[in-house]
Structure 1
């Protein structure tokens, strides 16, 4: 795909209107500067691509990702302004997924530790393999990041348990705790994630984008203000070609053909 020809840490596959982004940095898909920069560029490009309607994010091999590459930290500390630049890039890695106009499904195939745990949590929908786990190990290394993102998905008590102890939360437990939508055997993981992505891709693209925008903007709004905003989105969609096509296809009992406008 144009703009993504020279990736070295990620692999991109296009399946109809679905893009599959695979973290591919052996042996454990650790987050170094290059991987973070490629994630930001990739989601910017895919988010702007009209033909892409949903994205699946997964890891190559046995791990989703072991998280931050700690071997980079001495160089960051020695570089003037290094931590400011590093922290800005780390935030961008998560923000670009949160703000991507296309829904992102995390297919967590194995360990997702630290920064990788947060990366999975900022996706719209999470599907986990039975042997996968999330873990926030910051307290083991004298760090304390990720609290706010963890609180979005876990109950207050479970979030504190996870952060304070650095415990591994297994796939079945993530499903029981309503953090993951599905927990399946590893060999079914991608089929399940792709099935969800294809189902989303069959809906009115502009409506899905508006729904994701609503999730992002109304999360901390009062109920009345949030619902009022959502109604403005429905009104704005009313005169779009795709909404008219969806209604016409319903009346005519045929499959709609969407153009993303």
Structure 2
């Protein structure tokens, strides 16, 4: 077990080579309560700094990816002085820890991904869905209106509004058609598909993958000109690292590279 992750109650972590498999285990529906979010923030911070982990696969135990926020906590949160502000900061941090994790995160959406569960899938780097899985933003059913900005990152303006205004379920094949998912496969092939992507990422130069993820995060709202300039600075810095030199040497010598993370 990786140090710092021994006492998890809402998650299980397994290591397969250079891939960390993170499973949400807050059954029956992997609802996101305060403990869930606190563990998630710690988990991604630890895995992000673990040198042997090069990619992360996130999925849900049981039949659900995540049914979203645990609404039973809301009355307690509202009753605490300043409780709503603290709660909102925790929710943002729980999503940001995935967005900002240095390692690519592949969401293997095995079932319902609702509300905060939908957003959790969409803040991952790559989304793979089962044909029978669905995403839904049901906030309007409960007098809420969260998630709009995250939905707009992954769906067209029309599809984002359709999803938010109607709270309808969007199933795997339509998520793939809408370009919200990179692959849609039968449920029994879901983890194989996600793991194949993760293992492929794990064969690449780790520092280069980390730099690429950093570029995605920082350049998303930059102009094309400024974004490309930033990317060029990253490439220039990588050129001086041992791993980049090793990758080029291995290519010349027709052998498998050995990366050291520096």
Do the structures match in fold with TM over 0.5?
Answer: yes
Give the drift of 1:66: 0.6
Alignment of 1:84-99 (within 5 A): 84-99=85-100
CA shift at 1:177, angstroms?
0.6
1:3 alignment partner in structure 2: 4
Kindly provide the CA deviation profile for residues 115-166 of structure 1, in whole angstroms up to 9, marking residues without a partner as x: 0100000000000000000000000001000000000000001000100110
* Secondary structure, counterpart of 1:192 in structure 2: helix
Residue 249 of structure 1 deviates from its aligned partner by: 0.1
Distance in structure 2 (CA, Å) of the matches to 1:158 and 1:195: 29
- How much is the aligned-residue C-alpha RMSD, in angstroms? 0.4
Displacement of 1:191 after TM fit?
A: 0.5
Aligned to 1:241: 242
Counterpart-to-counterpart distance in 2, 1:20 and 1:180? 19
- Who is 2:106 aligned against? 105
Q: State the shift of 1:55 in Å.
A: 0.2
Residue-pair matches, total: 261
1:223 CA drift (Å):
0.6
The 1-side partners of 2:82 and 2:15 are apart by 38
2:19 alignment partner in structure 1: 18
Runs of 4+ in 1 over 2 A off after TM superposition: none
- 1:39 Cα deviation from its structure 2 partner: 0.4
- The CA distance in 2 between the partners of 1:84 and 1:21, in whole Å, is 28
**1:96-245 correspondence runs (5 A):** 96-245=97-246
Name the SS for the 1:226 alignment partner. helix
State the partner residue of 1:74.
Answer: 75
- Aligned-residue offset at 1:56: 0.3
TM (norm. structure 2) is 0.99
